[in-house]
A and B are shown apart, each in its own frame.
Chain A
Amino acid sequence: MTPLEFFAWLSETSWSVDLHESEIAYPLIESVHVWTLCVFFGLMMMVDLRLLGWTMRSVPVSEVLGRVLPWAIAGFVVMVITGTLLVLAIPLRSYQNLFFRGKMIMLVAAGLNAWFFHYRVYPRIVGKIVDGIPPNSVRIAGATSLALWIAIVFCGRMIAYNWFDCDRQPQPAIINFLTSCVPAPSVY
């Protein structure tokens, strides 16, 4: 089963159809996705700004990571759950959406950046810095995270718009390539 076939199959399931057609569940899930964006994205940016040394300089980095990050992660869990449900409601269009693909790639990049920071950068400096402006390695990780999350939010917002949708042909060949779109009526 190719990914395209998988998402086409997913869109035929009763779960997907029910979610898609629901007049309450879909807007509600989308709203929860935005509310938890406030918790996750908001607190993540505060953590990143602290890593950059741009706010809360009198609060040790370890404090911010230990006491703020868990709240952000809790928000992230809800974002993943609601986000998955939103994809489940519109599987094929999401899979073939240019901005959705961009968002997923950047999510992986943000995950790698977080992994690199926690296991490679942070252990080397823990105990050395207490407060003030962190060393450059930490600041670069913070800046990368901040840039990626802002770009992810931008892409997330753009998923709702259909400029590059598969059923809007003709599209440039590069767009059809990037969205694995076969511009034939049989796909839709």
Chain B
Amino acid sequence: MLSFFQWCYDTPIGETIRESTWLFPLIEAAHLVGLGLTAGAVLIVDLRLLGAGLIRQPAAQLWASVRPWLLGSIGLMVVSGTLLFLSEAIKCYYSYAFWVKMTCLLLALVFAFTIRRHVVQTGPSPDRALQSRLTAITSLGLWFGVAWGGRWIGFS
């Protein structure tokens, strides 16, 4: 595993970003914009599942409208995040925050496109209020872990 991280670190892309003054900060800022957009799209649906925000629209309708933005912003985050990772792969390998983040990210994505999607699409029903809330809390918790881990990679 470490040798893979070393290989990433040694790639010309990683080296270029490391040696440039501006590239890392600019990619970081783009990563932050992606983070905001992802969070916005996630929050619109999760607030609805919690019974707040846009409660007059069915969750399935909100999910359908924000999904392209969610996918687009996740794409932006994966591309910018990979570039950042290549430039400091060795640091990431030894950073527990990095592993927390990646674990939460994997769980958050799997959760969003399996259980959460199912809950969103089965539609509103009073007897499923608790299920909706638990789904939203799980989703928010996992994304919180992603953002927390991401910020603490920088502190470690």
Contact = CB atoms under 8 A, between A and B. Distances in A.
A37 B151 contact: no
A42 B151 contact: no
Contacts of A27: 152, 155
A35 B32 contact: no
A45 B40 contact: yes
B149 to A, nearest CB: 11
A52 B42 CA distance: 19
Nearest to B146: A38
Contact of B40 (A46, A63, A157, A160): A46
Contacts of A58: 57, 61, 65
B123 to A, nearest CB: 16
Given A35-B148, A67-B55, A56 B43 contact: no
A30 B151 contact: yes
A37 B148 contact: no
Which of B44, B56, B68, B143: most chain A CB closer than 10 A?
B44
Contacts of A31: 148, 151-152
Interface stretch (B10-18, B21-29, B113-121): B21-29
A143 interface: no
* B contact residues, range: 35 or more
Contacts, number: 102
Contact of A68 (B44, B68, B144, B152): B44
Interface residues of A, number: 33
B54 A41 contact: no
Chain A contact surface mostly: helix
A7 B39 CA distance: 35
Contacts of A41: 36, 39-40
A49 B143 CA distance: 22
A55 interface: yes
B38 interface: yes
B43 A39 contact: yes
A115 interface: no
A104 interface: no
Chain A to chain B: the 6 pairs with minimum beta-carbon distance, closest first: A42-B40, A38-B39, A42-B39, A41-B36, A157-B29, A46-B40
